[in-house]
Amino acid sequence: MSEKPLSAQTNQNTVQITFPDQTQLALQVFSDAIIRVCPIDALPAASYAVVAKPQPTQFTATVKNGVAAINTAALHVKVYPDHHMDVFDQNDRELIMDYRGQRQPLNRDLAADETSLLEEEGHAGHEEIDATAALTLTKQLDPDEAFYGLGDKTGFMNKRGYEYENWNTDDPAPQMENFTRLYKSIPVLYGLRQGRPYGLFFDNPYRSHVDLGKESPAYYSYSVVHGPLNYYIIGGHRLADVVANYAHLTGTVPLPQRWTLGYQHSRYGYQDAPEMIQIADGFRQHDLPCDALYFDIDYMHGYRVFTWDPGRYPDPKKLIAQLHEKGFKAVTIIDPGVKKDPGYTVYDDGKKHKVFVKTPAGKNYVNRVWPGRTVYPDFGKPKTRQWWGQCHLALTKIGVDGIWNDMNEPASFDGPIPDDTVFSDNGKKSTHAKMHNLYGHNMSHATYDALKEQTGRRPFVITRAAYAGTQRYATVWTGDNHSLWAHLQMMIPQLCNHSMSGFSFAGTDLGGFGSDTTPELLTRWIEAGLFSPLFRNHSALGTRRQEPWLFGEPTLSIYRKYLKLRYRFIPYLYDLFALAQSAGKPVMRPLVYDFDEDRQVYDIDDEYLIGDALLAAPVVTKGKTSRLVYLPAGQWIDFWTGKVIPGEQEIRAAAPLDTLPLYGRVGTMIPWGPAHQFLTDEPDQTMTFKVFGDTASYDHYQDDGYDFAYQKGEFNQYHVTFAQGKPAVTLTTAGYPAGLYPEITVAAGDQTFALQLENGKYQLIDKN
Ligand code: GLC
């Protein structure tokens, strides 16, 4: 039988390739820079991650010499009769090239019976999905190629040379770069191939594996245990464009309430209402700004979700009112596991409404978490999400301000949940194997919708487990780190890779969760985390407590200095959140995000950028009082001394215990807010703009900071310029008149200028 040549048929945005063996593949053009690749029959499948729709896009699809070429303005894709595919940029330079050789699995020199021997001493065996049984993509690796993204994975900024798994996992042991998986699965990968950026987003929630040049310097690979192979090729002029394209594909982070950018304090172990008040008073007495206190699992009655322990918290509504009075918001933890306990309303009601996941035999599936024997809400079912949302009335009605979702990988103390446990996939019968990595995503979705409906405010949901796209519903934290210098070091790449992966709103437990912190470590952590979007100190039961006043001086004063500094930067962070929402630009950025043409920054793990204007280079090593700082192109101003330093060089920065080396980029400006002990819904009465250098312009965003009125135009935008020694402020939008600052100050070098609002315009009134 003679083979037919490869053919390509275009239908609207989709090119259908038919190979000589008569199998087919679809390439769906979403935009110039985004092309989805999947089997034809996977095209209509709903995605939990992707929110963008294919846009009308000019492209060509032709077949020449038996090879199909799909060309947009940004991407050139070639598909060959033997199923291989290569992707080039608009100038036909290589981006993603199929590897044509045979894979060579690593020789681990281990016989099967030796694995159990190793386990006897407590060694974890090497666990890897069976790549031969999985669907795999293998791509050529350039000697120079660097990788970023993948969400919360451990280790370093550049992921090259490591392997990772996407299977949400709760493992509280000290997480180091040998951990292949953590709590989240965010399968977006960015590559820089000879400086040319691209992205690959593998949208399949089943367990998957990525090897980034560990197995071989010749290739990298992605494998997933169950089809379809469904992925997106993402292009962009610069790495920042690729990141923005991915953010638009899966949805950007919604603007949070302003107070959520303040300092937050938590501990697994605060015992009762009097202790919560004591902690709140401790912050105020020690002049330590703080916006939120957390209630960990101890507040519940026998760890039953949506209950309060009557002995320890006899009147939670009154307690929350007292905290509000003192300027603290209250955030309560909610785990998914519902205690199997007839007579407990949540369990009885859930059982009645059939909202729990089931065994294949049709019984409610039971495992064990904090409350003992527990059942698991089936969040893939819209009805369950609705029901779960309603349960939150018990909390929102008494004034709870935010919900912290934990243990939602989901965690199970009595061994793994079997793969064939029956879970729902948006109402369709499915399995744990498919829905596992989506569990935290769907739980966050339920919580987000409930808080929005019940409070009318922008929901503050924090989740530990997530999938790509969860950023639309929740902020995330990196789970159970330890009070170790290695974990302080890991915070920077971890948060930067989160933000590259769509999650601009992320944080780690400042000070470290497990193990005992030290005064020096806590001090360096509060400095290093100064711009961490989620700024929360949290520690574990049984570890040294982490209230800053317990450490005496100089820890207390330095901690206070940085909390106060954080509040000054909140208007800048809020502006960056507005940009994250509108333009998909991360708040906290690795240097490579902005300087991807500078090979020197590819492996920087101990510096980060905050927006365009600031570079932080924290001390993350014990005992150091100075450090080397690489300053990229441009000129930089030492935040503390005002000294101008040329970029593209490494400098030694002085960093005594109380100093975070921090630099402003010449030619930029930042808003510098008033001092606060905590944030309220009241607008600031004045705003200062600090200019780095002698010429800069800046767009500042302002709204009420708590509800959705901004979506109806209730916001202000200020265009601030400084040139030739003169400031000017133009109001480009004034949809939130109640918020307009009566007074604005512009500070440039040692000069300050005052401007006042008169008849809707800012007039210069003073100079000194
Ligand atoms: C998990 C969480 C941790 C929390 C603890 C008790 O370990 O990661 O943050 O404090 O459970 O709820």
pLDDT digits (tens, 9 = 90+) for 699-734: 999 999 999 999 999 999 999 999 999 999 999 999
pLDDT bucket at 768, cuts 50 / 70 / 90 = low
Superfamily of domain 258-583, CATH level 4: Glycosidases (3.20.20.80)
Q: Can 480 be counted among the known catalytic residues?
A: yes
Q: CA torsion angle for 279, 283, 286, 290 (degrees, to 10)?
A: 160
pLDDT digits (tens, 9 = 90+) for 38-58: 999 999 999 999 999 999 999
Output the pLDDT for position 2.
60
**Is-contact 719 730, C-beta < 8 A?**
yes
- Cα-based distances in Å from 632 to 194, 344, 705: 19, 59, 34
pLDDT digits (tens, 9 = 90+) for 610-629: 999 999 999 999 999 999 99
Output the pLDDT for position 636.
98
Output the pLDDT for position 232.
98
Å from CA of 406 to ligand 1 middle:
7
Residue 578 has pLDDT above 90, yes or no: yes
- By three-state DSSP, how is residue 454 classified? helix
**Is-contact 177 155, C-beta < 8 A?**
yes
Å from CA of 421 to ligand 1 middle:
25
**Sequence ranges of the domains in the chain:** 7-92, 258-583, 681-767
pLDDT bucket at 128, cuts 50 / 70 / 90 = low
Output the pLDDT for position 125.
66
Percent of the chain at pLDDT > 90 equals 95
pLDDT bucket at 241, cuts 50 / 70 / 90 = very high
Q: Which of 32, 89, 211, 409 is catalytic?
A: 409
Place of tokens 């100064």: 530
Output the pLDDT for position 766.
66
How far is 335 from 337, CA to CA, in rounded Å? 6
pTM of the model: 0.97
Q: Which of 145, 335, 401, 480 is catalytic?
A: 480
Hey, which bits of 438-540 come out as E strands? 461-463, 466-467, 475-477, 506-507, 509-510, 535-537
CA angle 204, 174, 167 (to 5 degrees): 10
Across the chain, which distance is largest between two alpha carbons, in Å? 89
Residue having the nearest C-alpha atom to atom 5 of ligand 1: 268
Å from CA of 405 to ligand 1 middle:
10
Residue 123 has pLDDT above 60, yes or no: yes
Averaged over 270-280, what is the pLDDT? 97
Å from CA of 335 to ligand 1 middle:
10
Rounded mean pLDDT of the chain?
96
pLDDT bucket at 121, cuts 50 / 70 / 90 = confident
pLDDT bucket at 126, cuts 50 / 70 / 90 = low
Averaged over 152-169, what is the pLDDT? 98
Q: Can 349 be counted among the known catalytic residues?
A: no
Output the pLDDT for position 115.
75
Contacts of 651 (CB under 8 A, 6+ apart): 628, 629, 631, 645
Q: Can 298 be counted among the known catalytic residues?
A: no
pLDDT digits (tens, 9 = 90+) for 623-658: 999 999 999 999 999 999 999 999 999 999 999 999
Mutate to test the pocket of ligand 1, among 480, 483, 541 (most ligand atoms within 8 A of CB): 480
Hey, which bits of 600-641 come out as E strands? 608-610, 614-616, 626-631, 635-638
Output the pLDDT for position 98.
98
Type of residue numbered 545: R
The DSSP call for residue 411 is: -
Q: Which residues sit with their C-beta closer than 6 Å to ligand 1? A: 172, 268, 296-297, 333, 406, 464, 479-480, 513, 538
Averaged over 387-393, what is the pLDDT? 98
Residue 767 has pLDDT above 80, yes or no: no
Output the pLDDT for position 617.
99
How far is 380 from 427, CA to CA, in rounded Å? 7
pLDDT digits (tens, 9 = 90+) for 188-237: 999 999 999 999 999 999 999 999 999 999 999 999 999 999 999 999 99
Superfamily of domain 681-767, CATH level 4: Golgi alpha-mannosidase II (2.60.40.1180)
Output the pLDDT for position 130.
67
Q: Which of 89, 406, 425, 704 is catalytic?
A: 406
Number of Cβ atoms within 10 Å of the Cβ of 61 = 19
Averaged over 450-458, what is the pLDDT? 98
Output the pLDDT for position 3.
77
Atom of ligand 1 nearest to the CA of 541: 10
Residue 1 has pLDDT above 60, yes or no: no
Å from CA of 294 to ligand 1 middle:
12
How far is 589 from 240, CA to CA, in rounded Å? 10
Averaged over 600-605, what is the pLDDT? 98
Q: Do domains 258-583 and 681-767 have the same CATH topology?
A: no
Contacts of 604 (CB under 8 A, 6+ apart): 157, 590, 591, 592, 630
Averaged over 17-46, what is the pLDDT? 97
Atom of ligand 1 nearest to the CA of 479: 8
Averaged over 294-317, what is the pLDDT? 98
